[in-house]
Copies of this chain bind each other. A is one copy, B any other.
Amino acid sequence: MSKEKIEKKIKEEIELDPVTADTIAKEFKEHSVAEFFKKNKQMLGLYGKVRTLTTIIHEYVSNSLDACEEANILPEIEVKLDELGEEYYEATVKDNGPGLTEETVGKAFGQLLAGTKFHRMMQARGQQGIGASGCTMLSQSTTGKATKVITGKGDGKVISLELTIDPKMNQAKITNFKKVDKEYRGTAVQAKFKGVIYKDTQGGVLEYLRRTAIANPHAQIKFRDPKGQTVLFKRTLTHIPKKPKEMKPHPLGTTVDDLVTMSKYTESRKAGSFLKNEFDRVGDTSLQKIQNMIRFDLNKDPHQLSWEECEQLIQAFKKVDFIAPSTEGLSPIGEDRIKKSLESIVKPEFVVTLTRKPKIYAGGYSFQIEVGLAYGGNAGERTSSNPEDVKVELMRYANRAPLLFDGGSCAITKAIQSVEWKRYGVRDLDSAPLAVFINFISVHVPYTGAGKQAITDEEEIMEELRLSLMDCGRRMGIYLGAKRREHDRKMKQEMFYKYIPEIATALSSVTKEKKETLITKLEKLVKDKLGLEKLEAKIKSKQVGKEEQEKADDEIGKAVVVEDEGSGDE
């Protein structure tokens, strides 16, 4: 067909079928969020044969840990993978959590954007109510099979059911519902997937669970891989982490829009009490300060607040000296626990850890950074059988859940790369025997995508990450420095000693002084000199160490002590 002919044909088609706003309007359709993610499952991290399987386990395990912690239960989780055929696996995850009710089980596994966590200002691994339901969808679309769930509340009854999702409606379709008498508390989920592969490599399930264990030393995780080999990550702490409370937003970081929206739905009768009740750290003193800075009366009905009046409030907030946000919604692992965990799982030469004070980023969300640096020993990834070939291992976490993928676009990786590690005694970061552990905790983690594998590099987050790394890096530097100094001292002594016989012989030959006398005297001289130096080094290192330690203690102290304070500032 010639070019002219084609063009003519196109023209005719256009005339036969003219497109206007009205014809377009006929095409206008709405679709559900389930359809959207079904079509775009790669956005949930469900792509790549190895990665998909890891993402599935990640979603189930995160939910289990969240549920256990919310119910103050020491988690015991069993993960099992069975190979059913070529690129065809069954995944089973069982926990000892509080279980689900008849009403919630369908929503938890069969409806996107449904869950307990979305609106709460409280730290949790999951936050979107998408992950587990996404897995259900993937299972049914690759195998046609339903996902099995067994759940019990420990009250002698156990529910067992199978479910799929109707994507158009974004609703669970439940089949084979049974309720039996049995003593079990917890939830077990079992689903089949095609087009996935299990590998025991970087980014695989085993690595994911190992990292999970590091950041959750109170959890016991058992894993049986497709070959039937079992790995048990024992808990190193029997202490249940402090349960995070739901938090109120901090006035700093709140936007005008947030304020407008909240004011519409508040039950308070006055703007003043609205602020005091629904915001963190707002008390009578600060209310008085705010009143002095705005042009309307805080006794006004909050439902009547205009955008402009809300803007006045936001301006005023910035001038009030609020105390740091409450940490009630956050549950850091804690310096000692990170240290213990890294020591027991990574087996390095030494570890320094740091839990920083909470900070806020845009949107009023508080967040907190924890850093662990594990140096020497088995730290770092082995790149060959030669134990000298080692590279730095980056362990990223968000709310204790490991982030294994998309490191390149993650704020944590960027922050690590931006630090001048040379200052802290690490000559080449890439080839250092070092594990860098970072846990980013927040009531709302700003993931770059629904796949939840990378944190957006917001300015405040980057700044705090860098400060945390540098602070922890300094402590490591002091250790490495002291280590090097001791090494230097030994080298120096050896060096001076070896020349002594030569010098003594030569001087003796010229002066006729006894050689042995000269040797004795010279060795004493060296010892005295280096002893002094060593002492100096000790004093110096102690001073620096002390300062650093005090500063750090101070910060940890603040982070802990802050719990004592009420939600107001008086």
Contact = CB atoms under 8 A, between A and B. Distances in A.
A408 B405 CA distance: 13
A31 to B, nearest CB: 5
24 contacts: A1-B561, A1-B563, A6-B560, A10-B243, A19-B71, A19-B72, A20-B71, A21-B153, A22-B101, A24-B67, A25-B103, A27-B116, A28-B108, A29-B119, A30-B129, A31-B129, A36-B128, A42-B456, A43-B447, A141-B257, A142-B256, A142-B257, A408-B408, A448-B451
B113 A450 contact: no
Contacts of A22: 101, 153
A409 interface: yes
A70 B19 contact: yes
Contact of A448 (B18, B107, B449): B449
A118 interface: yes
Contacts of A362: 195
Interface string A417-459: 0000000000000000000000000001011111100001010
Nearest to A3: B560
A381 interface: no
Given A30-B113, A113-B33, A243-B14, A98 B20 contact: yes
B31 A113 contact: yes
Contact of A14 (B42, B72, B561): B72
A509 interface: no
Contacts of A333: none
A107 B99 CA distance: 40
B98 A24 contact: yes
Interface string A179-223: 000000000000000010000000000000000000000000000
A536 interface: no
A135 to B, nearest CB: 14
By Cβ-Cβ distance, the 5 closest A-B pairs, closest first, are A144-B307, A141-B257, A449-B449, A27-B116, A25-B101
Contact of A140 (B27, B115, B116, B257): B257
Interface size bracket, A side: 35 or more
Given A113-B31, A153-B20, A25 B100 contact: yes
B456 A28 contact: no
A42 B361 CA distance: 13
A22 B141 CA distance: 32
A83 to B, nearest CB: 19
Contact of A36 (B31, B42, B104, B113): B113
Interface string A303-315: 0000100110000
Contacts of A108: 28
Given A24-B104, A195-B362, 7 more contacts: A10-B242, A14-B72, A20-B153, A30-B111, A33-B36, A448-B449, A448-B451
Interface string A1-22: 1000010001001100011111
A233 interface: no
A549 interface: no
Contacts of A19: 70-72, 98
A39 interface: yes
Contacts of A561: 1
A144 B25 contact: no
Given A42-B448, A42-B456, A70-B19, A28 B115 contact: yes
Contacts of A103: 25, 28
Interface in A62-92: 67, 70-72
Nearest to A108: B28
B28 A107 contact: yes
A114 interface: yes
Interface in A114-141: 114-116, 118-120, 128-129, 140-141
A555 interface: no
A24 B128 CA distance: 16
A321 to B, nearest CB: 24
Contacts of A40: 128, 446-447, 450
Contacts of A151: 21
Interface string A231-247: 00000000000110000
A570 interface: no
A31 B449 contact: no
A22 B154 CA distance: 12
B1 A35 contact: no
Contacts of A43: 447-450
A497 interface: no
Contacts of A383: none
A522 to B, nearest CB: 55
A70 B17 CA distance: 11
A408 B454 CA distance: 13
Contacts of A447: 40, 42-43
A479 interface: no
A255 interface: yes
A456 B47 contact: yes
A126 to B, nearest CB: 13
Contacts of A119: 29, 31
Contacts of A107: 28, 30
Given A42-B448, A141-B257, A257-B144, A116 B243 contact: no
